A and B are shown apart, each in its own frame.
Chain A
Amino acid sequence: MENKDIEALLPFYINGTLGEIESAQVQKAVAQSAALRSEVEALRLIKTNMQANAPKNAAAELGLARLMRDIEADALPTPANDTARAPFRISPLFGGAMAAMVALAFYAGTAISPDKLEYIQASGEDYTAVLTVRFQPEVTQQAAAATLLEHGLEVVGGPSARGFYRLLPLEDCDMDSLAEILRAESLVFEFVETPQ
């Protein structure tokens, strides 16, 4: 086995996935070469460093809850039923729902196609200092709109495929404090995150 082949196998020698024969070949080469030993040591430390800093999903349980909702409602992402995941629901029992939805859209600077219930962002601007939220699945349009009005928030993006919205405060404010206030509105918001 050439030196280049040995070097290519070093990461797998380190992670313990080589077969017996290859592992023995690498082990022998490493024993005979100070440069390879040095490289093995360096790669081990880099591997340890990488694993120690592995990213974690802060919203793992939320992700599972949404998955289970989707599969239980048989709401797999098809165009016909995609709107089932939108947080604002139109119910025949809910008088004035469409009016409230349109009002919210007007307030939020978005346009709505009522027949498709799709939000079309009116502005192409890319906001960065925004909060990202997801509404509780059962929240009504009025409750959501009232909460946004109360806290001086404007919808500038969304919903994403998973129902995330981006909210922009109308006035300068401390985003962390605002996020805490919104999190306390647990009947309205399922998830609130400050800009990263």
Chain B
Amino acid sequence: MISKISNRDKNAFADFYRAMERPLYGFIFLKLNDSHQTSDLLHDVFIEVWKGAHRFEGRSSVKTWVFGIAYRKVIDVYRRGGRVETMAELPEIEDESPTAEQALAASEQATHVRACVEDLKPDHRVVIELAFFEDFSYRQISEVIGSPEGTVKTRVYHAKKLLLRCVSARLQTGVI
């Protein structure tokens, strides 16, 4: 499909849009939380695909290539906006992993999960979202964000801990 797009096949481009629009929109929206800004950025991503399809060398999958474009554009928005990272590193407290019952109850409440994901700092959040929304492998995530696989694993480890701890804490304190 990408080779067709590089040959200016508009039907192939439309098919590509229909295949990739939903996951890309979700990926971008979860980071910007603004539907208009997301639509604009999504447009820019697809324009870059249209203009740059001939440069795709097949060293990664098409999906990770396109997500990589989207990720870099989101980072540009963060930089321009001076976005502040909202959650620090793991606090130095004794680890108290949530019980399955706590997590089960919490996971049934979308509000808690959504709030806790939003509280993760961007580089933690992106690895969890790519793993859980898009079912990316750690190798694919590494390609998307341009970081070594070991870094991805470390971020996933911390993000997962923070997420579970946050959900558990919100459940215990009754925060809605």
A59's partner among B39, B117, B153 (CB-CB below 8 A) is B39
Please give, as numbers and ranges, the residues of chain B lying within 8 Å of A164 by CB-CB distance: 36, 40
In the bound assembly, the distance between CA atoms of A72 and B50 in angstroms comes to 11
> Once the chains bind, are B46 and A67 in contact (CB under 8 Å)?
yes
| Per-residue A-contact encoding for B86-110, CB less than 8 Å = 1, 0 else | 0000000000011110111011101
Please give, as numbers and ranges, the residues of chain A lying within 8 Å of B104 by CB-CB distance: 41-42, 45
In the bound assembly, the distance between CA atoms of A70 and B137 in angstroms comes to 34
6 A-B pairs closest in CB distance = A42-B103, A45-B107, A17-B137, A38-B100, A8-B157, A57-B25
Interface residues of B (CB under 8 A from A): 10, 13-14, 17-18, 21-22, 25-26, 29-30, 35-36, 38-40, 42-44, 46-47, 50-51, 97-100, 102-104, 106-108, 110, 113-114, 117, 128-129, 131-133, 135-138, 140, 153-154, 156-157, 160, 163-164, 167
Please give, as numbers and ranges, the residues of chain A lying within 8 Å of B102 by CB-CB distance: 42
Q: How far is the CB of A108 from chain B (nearest CB, A)?
A: 19
> Once the chains bind, are A42 and B100 in contact (CB under 8 Å)?
yes
Please give, as numbers and ranges, the residues of chain A lying within 8 Å of B131 by CB-CB distance: 11-12, 15
Most chain B beta-carbon contacts within 10 A, residue among A5, A43, A67: A67
Q: Which residue of A lies closest to B25 (CB)?
A: A57
B156's partner among A8, A58, A70, A196 (CB-CB below 8 A) is A8
Judged by a CB distance under 8 angstroms, whether A162 is at the interface is yes
In the bound assembly, the distance between CA atoms of A12 and B132 in angstroms comes to 9
In the bound assembly, the distance between CA atoms of A53 and B25 in angstroms comes to 13
Judged by a CB distance under 8 angstroms, whether A55 is at the interface is yes
> Once the chains bind, are A8 and B17 in contact (CB under 8 Å)?
no
> Once the chains bind, are B103 and A77 in contact (CB under 8 Å)?
no
Known: A11-B131, A42-B100, A77-B47. A60 touches B164 (CB 8 A): no
> Once the chains bind, are B100 and A41 in contact (CB under 8 Å)?
yes
